[in-house]
Structure 1
Amino acid sequence: MSAESSKSTADRLRDTLAQLKEMRHYAKNNVEVLTAEWLVFDGELSRLKKADAIADLMDRQGQLHDALQAMIEDLEGVLDKLPPEEPPA
């Protein structure tokens, strides 16, 4: 039996949560970096008619961060409600 198939539901859920938390971290960092760049180059981007496109990307990245946070909270609630696992015999 492979290690992956021998994992419990709770273990697979914990793995998924860890991946989502990593994605959330990078999504937040991306928003912060893009915002900093935006503040520096807003005037230039406006002249190049690219300000709206960058603003849209910033909004979408922020929405991704919010969606990841909501999913993490939801799955943590599911994990808390799982029945305790019985040790292997």
Structure 2
Amino acid sequence: MSEENPKTPLDHVADTLSQLKEMRHYSKNNVELLTTQWLMFDGELSKLKQAGKIENLMMRQSEFHDALETVIAELEEVKTELQPPPDAPPG
């Protein structure tokens, strides 16, 4: 956008939401892949005393994913509040 038409707070919230939703998508895919790998090799990882490290990462990733969901929901509410009423002129 040019300086004549700077981004509004609504634009910034929408951009941030878009980025967070992309992060959520990749986060979910990564957790699913890691879980699959962990389940396939849990026995071997346990023998090597490495299973706890993976479990810790999976828990931390889950906590991140939960926090991400919370922030997305909160920003969705902010976005709704920032949207002009339907009969309001743009700008």
Same fold (TM over 0.5): yes
> What amino acid is the match of 2:60?
R
Which residue does 2:75 correspond to in 1? Answer: 75
Q: Which residue of 1 aligns with 2:45?
A: 45
Name the amino acid aligned to 2:35.
T
Q: Which amino acid aligns with 2:13?
A: L
The answer to whether the aligner puts 1:20 opposite 2:20 as a matched pair is yes
CA distance in 1: counterparts of 2:30 and 2:62, whole angstroms: 9
Match of 2:6 in 1: 6
Over 3 Å counting, the alpha-carbon distance change for 1:21 and 1:83 in structure 2 is: closer
In structure 2, give the amino acid aligned to 1:76: E
Task: Tell me, in whole angstroms, the C-alpha distance in 2 between the residues paired with 1:83 and 1:18.
Answer: 16
| 2:21/2:72 contact within 8 Å kept | yes
**How many residues end up aligned between the 2 structures?**
87
Tell me the residue number matched to 1:55. 55
Structure 2 counterpart of 1:87: 90
Change (3 A) 1:83 1:22: closer
In structure 2, C-alpha distance between the alignment counterparts of 1:49 and 1:86, rounded to whole Å? 64
Query: CA deviation digits over 1:19-74, x for unaligned, max 9?
Result: 00000111111110000000110000000000000000001111111111100000
> Does structure 2 retain, via aligned residues, the 8 Å contact 1:21–1:72?
yes
The offset of 1:82, in angstroms, is 1.6
TM-score normalized with structure 1 length: 0.89
Q: Hey, which bits of structure 1, 4+ residues long, moved more than 6 A?
A: none
Residue 86 of structure 1: how far off its partner (Å): 4.7
Structure 1: 5+ residue stretches without partners:
none
